Amino acid sequence: MSNDSTTRGYLTPSAAGGPAYDEALEREISRWIRGVTGLPAKAVFPRWTDPQPPIPKNGITWCAFGITTVPLPGMSANIQVDENTSEQWAWESVTVILCFYGPQGASTATTFRAGLFVEQNNTELNRVGLSLSDAGTIYNLPELINKQWVRRYDLTVTLTRKTIRTYNIKSIVEPNVTISTGD
């Protein structure tokens, strides 16, 4: 099956290593949360995974996060790179909910939100292709876990990034048409 524009049919991206999603994106977001909050690696983990990691014991401050939406607020741009390839550029948002639990949950949530606006922290985030767009309100939402109330503070953050996918779209070098002037 051909994967270029010289034959009809669907095209898939031609180059590996496109934008990070799934576990790769979750790893980057986890590093960012740990870097800004100072929480240890075992205290920050993604929600909704299989298998689900054990919940830390009551009395420990920790964070669970989840990527809730990945909207594409505008149209993609298609850029012909050379005679054989085209790149599709898109600017997408990544919405992340962060839930801070435990006795220092509020303190950690506010430390994280304040740290988002430190330029050096955003520069580190930029190194993985992400940038802070918006940080919302912190909500106090205690949760009943194992028949015990646990402090929980939720914050939604929106990140933005430029994604690039490469397709084997050939440019038209010589048209396969004849133009007549009607003379």
pLDDT digits (tens, 9 = 90+) for 105-150: 999 999 999 999 999 999 999 999 999 999 999 999 999 988 889 9
- Please state which of the ranges 41-45, 51-55, 105-109 shows the lowest mean pLDDT: 51-55
Q: pTM for this structure?
A: 0.85
What CATH number is attached to the domain comprising 44?
3.30.70
Max CA pair span of the chain: 90
In a domain, 172, yes or no: no
Residue 69 structural domain: 22-167
pLDDT (0 to 100) of residue 172:
77
Burial-class residue 17 by CB neighbours within 10 Å (0-12, 13-18, 19+).
exposed
- Residue 30's SS3 state is helix
In a domain, 174, yes or no: no
* Pairwise pLDDT comparison (37 vs 149), residue with the higher score: 37
How distant, in Å, are the alpha carbons of 37, 41, 69, 82, 133 from that of 32?
Answer: 9, 11, 18, 36, 15
Categorize the per-residue pLDDT at 177 as very low, low, confident or very high, splitting at 50, 70 and 90: low
- Is the confidence at residue 65, as pLDDT, over 90? yes
User: Which helix H or strand E contains 24, and what residues bound it?
Assistant: helix 22-37
In a domain, 76, yes or no: yes
What average pLDDT score do residues 178-183 get? 70
Q: Based on the structure, what is the number of domains in the chain?
A: 1
What average pLDDT score do residues 63-80 get? 89
DSSP state letter for 41: G
Query: For 79-103, what is each residue's pLDDT tens digit?
Result: 999 998 999 999 999 999 999 999 9
In a domain, 62, yes or no: yes
In a domain, 8, yes or no: no
In a domain, 177, yes or no: no
In a domain, 94, yes or no: yes
pLDDT (0 to 100) of residue 58:
85
How distant, in Å, are the alpha carbons of 8, 24, 84, 93 from that of 14?
Answer: 16, 20, 11, 23
53 CB-near residues (< 8 Å, 6+ apart): 45
pLDDT (0 to 100) of residue 175:
64
How many residues in total does the chain contain? 183
* Pairwise pLDDT comparison (52 vs 115), residue with the higher score: 115
- Give the span between the Cα atoms of 110 and 20, in whole angstroms: 28
In a domain, 3, yes or no: no
